[in-house]
Chain A
């Protein structure tokens, strides 16, 4: 591909001082950078070194959450991962539930999986759309963002909000399935299956896309494990690992689904795996809507805290109003951690409680941050035009990484 072959291990040995290399500052205000800066050293058209400079959209989510009541961290963590809000919400709530010792009822577990899978589809469509515009295809960009809408409407029908749903609360979920949701969801899923064929025609099987992505930004299996990348990118490199399978949460232990993996780990595989995961999510949503058990949507411990008006509201509308317990919640002292497979990879939460009104230590790692090594290790030796390809294919979202 290139005359000079730069190796990942030579990275440290290259002396980038002097005038031999062009230094490009891509970002922080650049159409191809997102909210970050990429400092790129170029030897002609070949990338010698990339130094990602992150932190431009750091929003102190941990600091803020340590100074608020426990329930108020839910909107904060949601706003960090805007295309993928439900998973941030879910991961936080799982950790708090471990501290509180509450187990949500089965129906709530299924509803959590349902909204998480809907959100995974919107997150992958977001990633595919951004990948499209990075390669210059405005069509795929518009299509993907347009096709998120039916799913976002589904989320709105289920949770009352389009993006920042705050749907999952300690002990269960806020709203029950509305009437007519199953029929509406089936229509949307059939629409998406039709659209996936269109995507294959214009994007996945497009000769220009294949020429641009195949063998570009390859990360081998052992390197992927060594660098600790997560999520669809890890599975594109051929590693069979999915938190939903290996450390099941919500209703995933009862659900039957496959974890697609690819072989090569190049940009094209990272595109394919997202399409495959959308198909799996569609299958999962069908399965959840078929199997969902009847019952309460909130754990008994929380239900008992509701006052009579709230209980009446719950019986009539199937909606949980927040009892005073939520704001005065004081989980017993201790530590807890939880893992969730979000759209872009694994979210890890660690919270330490001292039995106080506020969390004592609030720590979380987002998937985009763990996918950061792609910039430094995979881009080397490629051409400048491959940088957006790699960036788009790993579905990197700077606000999520900066937290």
Chain B
């Protein structure tokens, strides 16, 4: 390979990471989803929601304004904290949540850095790393409320990780591949995953709600008990990053959900190797599907209060685990009898 194609290839990858479906798209999606969350909740609750920043478009830039405010606030690092962990953990949390996107393809000809047949495994591995930094945050803060928040995060992490992996495993069994692109092609030629295995889809949805701290599993930052949970001691941009991370995770999970269960870029089935047809058009379809999933999940805030820790852990080890095991069994049965 010559030097010029190599540079072009790197630039192309960089564009993938930075613009679509990478950082810029994340920023836009997160800004819109936070705005939408607040607007939906406001509609249910007989209020206006964000209004005064950019009044003509209904306050859509409110989240950007908040981000700016976080950027210029004073950074306060309490004296007794573990300083390096305190500073690094939120950034690493955000970074790993974002890096996972490299392995989540949004088009049939998408690959960053290297093409791989194991994208499902890679993306899961990166997603699972993120909560470890959440626990680090709670440990480093030297605050009892953060510490309790971290413990709760740990309990919930352990009890919902296995159902999550099992629900993905059941889809891997059905599609007989570790690659998202193959999984989507399988669905395009047969049926979408949500019809093939609704149990796995349900498990995945519950785990998504839990992992990203949506209601009714908003347990780690229950404000009436733990002030702000993990991020009690944080201020300024660190706090902003910490608040944005669950939304990035939500974006990741929703992309995975739409790839594994909602048929990926269906109904777009044109198979041409071209940046427009191979990435951007199918990519937009996938992102829109993910966005709809996110909108449904953030709507739950308006309906449910939060569960208690022991109730959430108990349901994680009983109903959700059972559901995920059943979904694996369903997949095995389908593979044995349908193929």
- Whether chains A and B associate is yes
Bound state CA distance, A209 and B308, in angstroms?
Answer: 10
| A130 and chain B: residue at smallest CB distance | B224
For residue A285, CB closer than 8 A to chain B, the reply is: no
Number of interface residues of A (CB under 8 A): 31
Contact of B305 among A143, A209, A384 (CB under 8 A): A209
Interface contact B309-A136, CB-CB below 8 Å: no
Q: Which of A22, A134, A139, A388 contacts B45 (CB 8 A)?
A: A139
Residues of B near A139 (CB, < 8 A) are 41, 44-45, 302-303
Give CA–CA (A201, B148) in the complex, Å.
33
* 8 Å CB contact of B222 from A136, A138, A206: A136
B306 in contact with A208 (CB, 8 Å): yes
Instruction: Annotate A191-227 by CB proximity to B: 1 below 8 A, 0 otherwise.
Output: 0000000000010001011011000000000000000
Q: Which residues of B contact A142 (CB under 8 A)?
A: 45-47
Whether A82 is near chain B, meaning CB under 8 Å from some CB there, is no
Interface contact B307-A211, CB-CB below 8 Å: yes
Given the interface contacts A136-B218, A139-B41, does A22 sit within 8 Å of B227 by beta carbon?
A: no
**B69: chain A residues within 8 A (beta carbon):** none
A209 and B305 CA atoms in complex are apart in Å by 7
Min CB distance A49 to B, Å, is 16
Choice from B46, B223, B225, B304 contacting A137 with Cβ under 8 Å: B304
Residues from chain A with a CB closer than 8 A to the CB of B219 are 385
Contact yes or no, A136 B144, CB < 8 A: no
Whether the Cβ atoms of B144 and A22 lie closer than 8 Å is: yes
Complex: how many Å from CA A133 to CA B216?
13
- The residue that B310 contacts in the complex, of A22, A32, A137, A383, with Cβ under 8 A, is A383
Q: Chain B's nearest CB lies how many Å from the CB of A128?
A: 12
B44 neighbours in A (Cβ, 8 Å): 139
* A388 close to B224 (CB less than 8 A): yes
Is A31 a contact partner of B223 (Cβ separation < 8 A)? yes
In the bound complex, residues from chain A placing their C-beta under 8 Å from that of B148 are: 22, 384
A interface footprint on B21-52 (CB within 8 Å = 1, 0 otherwise): 00000000000000000000100111100000
**A383: B residues at CB distance < 8 A:** 308-310
Closest to A2 in B: B310
Question: Dominant SS at the A interface?
Answer: helix
Whether B309 and A45, one on each chain, are in contact in the complex, defined by CB atoms closer than 8 angstroms, is yes
B311 at the A/B interface (Cβ < 8 Å)? yes
Query: Is A114's CB within 8 Å of the partner chain B?
Result: no
> Is A284 in the interface zone, CB < 8 Å from B?
no
Interchain CB contact under 8 A, B224 and A32: yes
In the complex, whether B178 has a CB less than 8 A from a CB of chain A is no
| Contact partners of B227 in chain A: CB under 8 A | 30-31
CA distance A23 to B197 in the complex (A): 47
> Which of A22, A134, A143 touches B224 (beta carbons < 8 Å)?
A134
In the complex the two chains form, is B303's CB within 8 Å of A202's CB? yes
- Encode contact with B along A167-202: 1 for CB under 8 Å, 0 otherwise: 000000000000000000000000000000000001
Question: For the complex, what is the distance from the CA of A377 to the CA of B307, rounded to whole Å?
Answer: 23
A138 to B222, CA, bound (A): 12
Docked complex Cα distance between A30 and B148 (Å): 15
Chain A CB within 8 A of B215 CB: yes
A395 in the interface, Cβ–Cβ < 8 Å?
Answer: no
Residue of B41, B216, B307, B311 touching A138 (CB-CB under 8 A):
B41
In the complex, A30→B222 CA distance in Å? Answer: 12
* Given contact pairs A22-B144, A139-B45, A384 touches B302 in the complex (Cβ within 8 A): no
Q: How far is the CA of A206 from the CA of B304 in the complex (A)?
A: 7
How far apart sit A383 and B314, CA to CA, in the bound complex (Å)? Answer: 14
With A and B bound together, what is the CA distance between A341 and B310 in angstroms?
Answer: 38
- Please determine whether A143 and B307 come into contact, CB atoms closer than 8 angstroms: no
Q: Is A24 an interface residue (CB 8 A)?
A: yes
A138/B144 contact (C-beta < 8 A), A31-B224, A212-B307, A385-B225 known? no
A196–chain B nearest beta-carbon distance, Å: 16
Type the 1/0 row for B291-317, where 1 means its CB is closer than 8 Å to any CB of A. Answer: 000000000011111111111000000
In the complex, are the beta carbons of B308 and A212 less than 8 A apart?
Answer: yes
Q: In whole Å, how far is A375's beta carbon from the nearest beta carbon of chain B? A: 15
B306 in contact with A136 (CB, 8 Å): yes
Task: Known contacts A30-B227, A32-B225, A142-B47; decide if A135 and B306 are in contact (CB<8 Å).
Answer: yes
Interface size class of B (residues with CB under 8 A): 20 to 34
Closest to A209 in B: B305
Interface residues of B in 257-291 (CB under 8 A from A): none
Q: State whether the Cβ of A387 lies closer than 8 Å to any Cβ in chain B.
A: yes
Contact status B45-A384, CB under 8 Å? no
Interface bits B207-226 vs A (CB < 8 Å: 1, else 0): 00000000110110011110
A132 touches B (CB below 8 Å): yes
Cβ 8 A contact of A386, one of B41, B46, B308: B308
- The answer to whether B224 touches A137, judged by C-beta atoms less than 8 angstroms apart, is no
A6 smallest CB distance to B (angstroms):
16
Asked if A146 is an interface residue, CB under 8 A from chain B, the answer is: yes
B45–A385 touching, CB < 8 Å: no
Chain A min CB distance to B294 (Å): 19
Bound Cα distance from A139 to B45, whole angstroms: 5
Query: Is the beta-carbon distance between B45 and A143 smaller than 8 angstroms?
Result: yes
B297 → chain A, closest Cβ, in Å? 16
CA distance A137 to B219 in the complex (A): 13
Q: Which residues of chain B are within 8 angstroms of A211 by Cβ–Cβ distance? A: 307-308, 311
Complex Cα–Cα for A138 and B303 (A): 9
Residues on the A chain within 8 Å of B308, using CB: 211-212, 383, 385-386
A30–B224 Cα gap in the complex (Å)?
Answer: 8
Q: How far is the CA of A211 from the CA of B304 in the complex (A)?
A: 12
Query: Smallest CB-CB separation from A30: which chain B residue?
Result: B227
On whether the beta carbons of B41 and A385 are closer than 8 Å, the reply is no
In the assembled complex, the Cα of A22 lies from the Cα of B147 at a distance in Å of: 11
CB distance from A266 to the nearest CB of B (A): 14
From B46, B215, B307, B310, contact of A146 by CB (8 A): B46
Residues A132 and B305 in contact, CB atoms below 8 Å apart: yes
Q: Which of A134, A138, A392 contacts B301 (CB 8 A)?
A: A138
Contacts of B224 in A (CB 8 A): 31-32, 133-136, 388, 392
With beta carbons under 8 angstroms apart, the residue of B47, B305, B310, B311 that contacts A136 is: B305
Residues on the A chain within 8 Å of B47, using CB: 142
4 closest pairs, A vs B, by CB? A32-B224, A142-B45, A135-B305, A136-B306
List 7 A–B pairs whose Cβ atoms lie within 8 Å, in order of A's numbering.
Answer: A32-B223, A135-B305, A137-B305, A140-B305, A208-B304, A211-B307, A388-B224
User: Interface of B with A (CB < 8 Å)?
Assistant: 41, 44-47, 144-145, 148, 215-216, 218-219, 222-225, 227, 301-311
Additional A-B contact list (16), CB under 8 Å, known A22-B148, A384-B225: A31-B223, A134-B224, A135-B305, A136-B216, A136-B223, A138-B41, A139-B45, A139-B303, A146-B45, A146-B46, A202-B303, A206-B304, A206-B305, A211-B308, A385-B222, A392-B224
